[in-house]
Amino acid sequence: MLSYKDAVETRRNNPSRNFCSYGADKKPVADPYSARDRFLAGTPFVCHSSPKFSISPGATVYTIGSCFARNVESSLQKAGFELPVFSEDIDQSIYVSKPFWPHTVLNKYNAHAMALEIERYVGRQVLPDDGIICLGEDKWFDPQMSYTKLAPEKLVRDTRAKLDRIGAALKRSDVLVLTLGLTETWLDSDYGYVFNNNIAAVAKHRVNSLKVFNARPDQVYDVLGKALEALHEVAPDLKVVITVSPVPMTQTFLDQDVAAANTYSKGTLRAAAQMLYEDLPFVDYFPSYEMVVCSPRALAWQDDQIHVTSTVINPIISEFSKRYLTT
């Protein structure tokens, strides 16, 4: 909570405080820092921020998130960062079909699955039989993986071993970039833990125990806050950058328009991210979500209106480097 004096001073020192700047005649005037002028520029939107901390060039960056995180990590690697995700080759036969990203298996969508991954790799969460479940002969499945099919036990366990080796790098990384995706979360009531996402081939075997809930801001904040604090205890020097993926939900399981469901989802995640940023000194928020959704739509989105173009992603990574990297 700011005093009146501090609030006025903060406003005065913030060049991007105005949505639109007006002249004496009450008409809009040019102001390159106003949101209006940045909208009208017709170029990728730049959302200003003041980072809490800096990152050394060549730092090791661990990424958790969905397909947007895969975009980010590829760009970060090109920018000279070390990415543990690329330390293992993933057997592509594990997938339902050929994925766009070789490491799509790492995609995480809901906050509860992300928290489970963090707690797993800091030793706070041990899943029975590594969380792998058997659904029939040669039908094994790891519900914390993404876009994988039911497969022979050896392939599933070998893939889990690779993911665990990648995950071991979390505690020795310099930065965690956590990209929040969506709020609709699948829970298996028999096993007692969340699934990363819904897989139709699995659902028909678990139809009586799979349930979905739509996480609230307090639930996202609580589950991620506990996981990040546990991480901070074992890796006190690690910095966390939270972002919200601009990629919308491809579908909703709730009785509402997918656009409305997506607005709730992103709004919830953005609110929780703000709460974590305000309460945890080692957590910062980077506005990549705002940079995408405020950019011209034709410039920002591929034909499916779901995935983001490199035209916008590349400037975002440049801004990330500019704000966080020490020289």
Q: Model-level pTM?
A: 0.93
Structural tokens at position 247: 């990629």
Is pLDDT of 323 > 80? yes
pLDDT for 298: 94
pLDDT-based confidence at residue 145 (cuts at 50, 70, 90): very high
Q: Per residue in 156-185, pLDDT tens?
A: 999 999 999 999 999 999 999 999 999 999
Q: Which pLDDT score, from 0 to 100, does residue 105 have?
A: 94
Q: Please, are residues 252 and 184 in contact by the beta-carbon 8 Å criterion? A: yes
Sign of the torsion angle spanned by Cα atoms 104, 119, 289, 53: negative
- What whole-number distance in Å separates Cα of residue 220 and Cα of residue 180? 10
Domain annotation covers residue 50: yes
Cα radius of gyration rounded to whole Å, the chain: 21
Q: Confidence class of residue 327 from pLDDT cuts 50, 70 and 90?
A: low
Total tally of structural domains belonging to the chain: 1
Whether pLDDT at 228 is above 90: yes
For residue 106, the domain's CATH number is 3.40.50.1110
Half-sphere exposure for 1 (CA within 13 Å, toward CB): 1
Question: Does residue 141 belong to any structural domain of this protein?
Answer: no
Q: How far is 22 from 283, CA to CA, in rounded Å?
A: 35
Asked, for residue 29, whether it belongs to a domain, the answer is no
Q: What is the pLDDT of residues 6-64, one digit of tens each?
A: 999 999 999 999 999 999 999 999 999 999 999 999 999 999 999 999 998 899 999 99
Q: How high does pLDDT run on average in the chain? A: 93
Give the structural domain span for 175. Answer: 44-90+101-126+168-197+208-324
For residues 60 and 172, is the Cβ–Cβ distance under 8 A? yes
Q: How far apart are CA 232 and CA 43, in angstroms?
A: 38
Tokens encoding 102 = 């070789």
Rounded to whole angstroms, the Cα distance separating 4 from 268 reads 28
Instruction: For Cα atoms 71, 46, 110, give the angle at the middle one, nearest 5 degrees.
Output: 40
- Kindly report, residue by residue over 83-93, the tens digit of the pLDDT: 999 999 999 99
The partner residues of 284 in beta bridges, in order of sequence, read 241
Is residue 71 assigned to a domain?
yes
Q: Find the mean pLDDT for residues 244-258.
A: 94
Please indicate, yes or no, if residue 20 is contained in any of the structural domains.
no
Q: Which of 64, 163, 167 is nearest to 109 (CA)?
A: 64
Domain contains 66: yes
Q: Is residue 17 part of a domain?
A: no
pLDDT exceeds cutoff 70 at 1? yes
How buried is 108 (Cβ within 10 angstroms: 0-12 exposed, 13-18 middle, 19+ buried)? Answer: buried
In a domain, 140, yes or no: no
Predicted confidence band of residue 232 (pLDDT cuts 50, 70, 90): very high
Give 258-316 pLDDT, tens digit per residue.
999 999 999 999 999 999 999 999 999 999 999 999 999 999 999 999 999 989 988 99
pLDDT at 67 over 80: no
Helices 310-324, 67-78: inter-axial angle, 10-degree rounding: 60
